[in-house]
Amino acid sequence: MTSGVEVEVSARGIATILLNRPERSNAIDQATLDELARQFLRLGADERTRIVVLRGAGRHFCAGADLVARASAPEQPAPAQTTIVDMLAALDRLPKPTVAAVHGAAIGAGAALAACCDVVVAADSAFFSIPEVRIGMAPLGVTPFVTRAIGHRSFRRYGLSGERFGAAEALRIGLAHEVVPAEQLDAKVADVVDALLHGAPAAQRSLKDGMERFVAPTVEAIVAARPSHGSTRTPEAQEGLASFKEKRKPSWYPQS
């Protein structure tokens, strides 16, 4: 099984991680989850790497979990299997500056990937959502990471409703740092990367490690709790997945 993750490191030490499953809108299956976690850990330890940039191939940044693959997966993951919390924690803890270049959709785990990056630059046409409740699941695996980025009040709205919000709203609530016209996204990311390259690597590592002491909840607490990302075997989740596949509204949505 291929992972759908490509990594390149430039001569300047800029590592680009490309989510490359455009036919699935870069949705994250287990192989992608495993490979992302592995690459975050590898690049964090790689002395050549100065900056890590996360991108998506095709029309979207990341459409979240691959629901088709997840619906057929075992209810309980294997003990050694990477979880969404493992992968997001590896990104959040990565000791190098990280940048997300967001275009198109950043949904569910895609929004969480952005939330775990140090800098998020979004195209003005990008949109975000945490839609798991709309398919009958509580997104507990991404909740701590997104809440740390946007705050409890904003998460109460968008986590409970699952509604989409645009790049301007992402900027207002703190999920994005900068919003630019889509055609300027690459140039702005390059500017941000250049600014980050002016920082001393050891000082940046020390700062990222030190900042963790002033953030609640800490990543250590999140990992220790290992929150579930929601069961696919509950009646609501089964109906939610069925409605997703059949492109219809779920049974709990009032029709009139």
pLDDT one-digit tens code per residue, 79-101? 678 999 999 999 999 999 999 99
Percent of the residues in the chain that have a pLDDT greater than 90, as a whole number: 72
Q: Tell me: the pLDDT tens digits for 93-149?
A: 999 999 999 999 999 999 999 999 999 999 999 999 999 999 999 999 999 999 999
Q: Is the pLDDT of residue 230 over 80?
A: no
The mean pLDDT of 48-56, rounded to a whole number, is 97
How many CA within 13 A on the CB side of residue 67? Answer: 24
Q: pLDDT-derived band of residue 2, with 50, 70 and 90 as boundaries?
A: low
Fold of 5-183: 2-enoyl-CoA Hydratase; Chain A, domain 1 (3.90.226)
For 67-133, where are the alpha helices, taking DSSP H only? Answer: 67-71, 84-92, 109-116
* Residue, of 247 and 16, whose pLDDT is higher: 16
Residues 216/115/28/11 CA torsion (nearest 10 deg): -120
